[in-house]
A and B are shown apart, each in its own frame.
Chain A
């Protein structure tokens, strides 16, 4: 499967409503109303709250105790847990969608996590920072240092992000483990979708993050 085959798509929300983050709105638009969703790495529950306003039955897992307690204090169904170790406790097909928002790069075993997402959920929505973004490339090429951006300000020695990848890398992994990409979007630094009529290498260069709607591939 080539990148070009999976990228064309349309009908996505753009911009931000002020209350919710642009990538959250984009993710929420990928979820069918009335479905059951697990948000892995749900932070302080902003995306779950957005989903709740749309009548979606959302659950969350979050690593940090502070994050969990804030979520629970908002009345959200969130448990303390680790994407790397706790997804195994969920049965097959327990959810319609499992969301991994800006968390894949912080897991110890991204491939295992991704496989688990699509075991637990019929579909998975994964967003991650694109390490192929031009600002990243420039810093490494010209600056000669590990890249840092507005959205990823941590230094190499204290970052939680241990498994960075590019959009191209991610597409390759999906292909390897027989995951079907139903929709894919690249967002620029301001959370706007990169125009659709551009070639895929533009996405990998100008997309600050990638958002993918995945389902289980046939065969294998």
Chain B
């Protein structure tokens, strides 16, 4: 890779910042001063880097590349053991040998988004101009910025047209942005549990999470890295609140009910008496080990700003005018964060553009999280959609 620039060593205590931010255990594409990333806020970000994983082989005519876009708290480790948590890849249900997106058939790429904290440039990275962590000096980024950066990575990899762009939630927003911004570079798009804009309710939940982070005294106005600390408590609360929105009443009831945690009777205290409390606390505390608080602020903000129609004169269908991309849109019945009505609005716009679109709503009580879980009907649909697109693309075994 050209444009390599050495990154100054961090000016803060190393054990408080993840090693992965500066030196990810992934491949890294560096973009130097000659290739700035032009951001929606008007700033040229340079230099910057993108950390990414690939699986499988690019075929001779470079027609089998699949880009996976990760969700808010995901990263590039879609189908390998996570270097920080040691857990399996976050989408191994969908991506991997024998799965609908099989490295045997496809060259699979997944990159950490700009603004993230797993090796792509973001608020936790070092600002080369100051030698210090960016913090809130980092420019505010948008979903289109993330996609623009991904397009530069795809260029770097020598790929013109992606066979498929696939993602759920914030990843699904990136899929839709890809098709709106680069329609001719996306042969097929699988957009799952997402929307063409972030709803007022979702912005409200994000604001709650950000306020939780900012209310933590350890946040220090975003400058915690200089102090060698991290607002763990605020970020954990943000994660706990967000996690509730990923589930459903029915799923919580089925999983936990009112059952007690390691006890028979209430303790008449504020301990985690209930299993659901204990579960949420665990979700909060495990999250802060792998995620940067400022990155959480930036990425939630990027989702809030997302509104494809607004970028096209308020008419969603204009974003997809004359598009040749094959779409598959999937929603889940119990997802109240990105409800089916959002997917239906997208499908109507695609119909109005005469796009080739499949749309399936899958019955499950597992809420928004369903897209990451073992839902066989979802896998069948994803597999069939990609196989049918592969046939149209002339891929073998696709």
Measured CB to CB, the residues of A under 8 A from B are: 57, 59, 65, 68-69, 71-81, 86, 89-91, 94-95
A-B contact pairs, 22 of them (CB 8 A): A68-B360, A69-B360, A69-B362, A71-B358, A72-B359, A72-B360, A73-B377, A73-B384, A75-B388, A75-B391, A76-B358, A76-B388, A77-B326, A78-B358, A79-B347, A79-B359, A80-B344, A80-B360, A89-B348, A90-B352, A94-B351, A95-B354
**Among A59, A71, A80, A95, which residue has its beta carbon within 8 angstroms of that of B361?**
A80
A74 near B384: Cβ-Cβ < 8 Å: yes
CB of B385 within 8 Å of the partner chain = yes
Cα A97 to Cα B115 in complex, Å, equals 47
**Which A residue sits closest to B350, measured CB to CB?**
A79
Chain A residues lying within 8 Å of B351, measured Cβ to Cβ, are: 79, 86, 89-90, 94
Cα A81 to Cα B328 in complex, Å, equals 15
B347 near A59: Cβ-Cβ < 8 Å: no
Chain B residues lying within 8 Å of A94, measured Cβ to Cβ, are: 351, 354
**Which A residue sits closest to B391, measured CB to CB?**
A75
CB of B25 within 8 Å of the partner chain = no
**Which A residue sits closest to B317, measured CB to CB?**
A91
CB of B356 within 8 Å of the partner chain = yes
**Among B344, B357, B361, which residue has its beta carbon within 8 angstroms of that of A77?**
B357
- 4 closest A-B pairs by beta carbon, nearest first, are A75-B388, A79-B359, A89-B348, A75-B384
CB of B387 within 8 Å of the partner chain = yes
Chain A residues lying within 8 Å of B387, measured Cβ to Cβ, are: 75
CB of B380 within 8 Å of the partner chain = yes
CB of B363 within 8 Å of the partner chain = yes
Chain B residues lying within 8 Å of A77, measured Cβ to Cβ, are: 326, 356-358
Cα A95 to Cα B351 in complex, Å, equals 11
Chain A residues lying within 8 Å of B359, measured Cβ to Cβ, are: 68, 72, 78-80
**Among B354, B356, B363, B381, which residue has its beta carbon within 8 angstroms of that of A72?**
B381
Chain B, range 369-398, C-beta contacts under 8 Å to A: 377, 380-381, 384-385, 387-388, 391
Cα A72 to Cα B357 in complex, Å, equals 10
A89 near B352: Cβ-Cβ < 8 Å: yes
Chain A residues lying within 8 Å of B352, measured Cβ to Cβ, are: 89-91
Most chain B beta carbons < 10 A, residue from A69, A72, A77: A72
Given known A-B contacts A69-B377, A72-B384, A73-B381, A79 and B363 have beta carbons under 8 A apart: no
Chain B, range 321-366, C-beta contacts under 8 Å to A: 326, 328-329, 344, 347-348, 351-352, 354, 356-363
A79 near B354: Cβ-Cβ < 8 Å: no
**Which A residue sits closest to B383, measured CB to CB?**
A73
Cα A79 to Cα B381 in complex, Å, equals 12
Chain A residues lying within 8 Å of B377, measured Cβ to Cβ, are: 69, 73
Chain A residues lying within 8 Å of B380, measured Cβ to Cβ, are: 73
B348 to chain A, nearest CB (A): 4
Cα A86 to Cα B357 in complex, Å, equals 14
A75 near B385: Cβ-Cβ < 8 Å: yes
Chain B residues lying within 8 Å of A90, measured Cβ to Cβ, are: 351-352, 354
A65 near B363: Cβ-Cβ < 8 Å: yes
Other A-B pairs beyond A72-B359, A72-B385, A80-B360, 11, CB < 8 Å = A59-B357, A65-B360, A68-B359, A69-B362, A73-B377, A79-B347, A79-B358, A80-B359, A89-B348, A94-B351, A95-B354
Cα A16 to Cα B356 in complex, Å, equals 30
Cα A68 to Cα B330 in complex, Å, equals 11
Chain B residues lying within 8 Å of A89, measured Cβ to Cβ, are: 348, 351-352
Chain A residues lying within 8 Å of B385, measured Cβ to Cβ, are: 72, 75
**Which A residue sits closest to B380, measured CB to CB?**
A73
A113 to chain B, nearest CB (A): 16
Interface string of B214-257 (1 = CB under 8 A from A): 00000000000000000000000000000000000000000000
Chain B residues lying within 8 Å of A80, measured Cβ to Cβ, are: 344, 359-361
Given known A-B contacts A89-B352, A90-B352, A91-B352, A79 and B357 have beta carbons under 8 A apart: yes
A157 to chain B, nearest CB (A): 27
Chain A residues lying within 8 Å of B363, measured Cβ to Cβ, are: 65
Cα A72 to Cα B385 in complex, Å, equals 7
Given known A-B contacts A79-B347, A89-B352, A72 and B361 have beta carbons under 8 A apart: no
Chain A residues lying within 8 Å of B326, measured Cβ to Cβ, are: 77
Chain A residues lying within 8 Å of B358, measured Cβ to Cβ, are: 71-72, 76-79
A49 to chain B, nearest CB (A): 11
Cα A79 to Cα B354 in complex, Å, equals 13
**Which A residue sits closest to B329, measured CB to CB?**
A79
A36 to chain B, nearest CB (A): 8
Chain B residues lying within 8 Å of A95, measured Cβ to Cβ, are: 354
Chain B residues lying within 8 Å of A81, measured Cβ to Cβ, are: 347
Chain A residues lying within 8 Å of B348, measured Cβ to Cβ, are: 86, 89
A72 near B328: Cβ-Cβ < 8 Å: yes
Cα A169 to Cα B361 in complex, Å, equals 37
Chain B residues lying within 8 Å of A75, measured Cβ to Cβ, are: 384-385, 387-388, 391
Cα A59 to Cα B359 in complex, Å, equals 11
Cα A69 to Cα B361 in complex, Å, equals 8
Cα A192 to Cα B377 in complex, Å, equals 38
B349 to chain A, nearest CB (A): 8
Cα A164 to Cα B300 in complex, Å, equals 53
Given known A-B contacts A73-B380, A86-B348, A91 and B356 have beta carbons under 8 A apart: no
Cα A72 to Cα B387 in complex, Å, equals 11
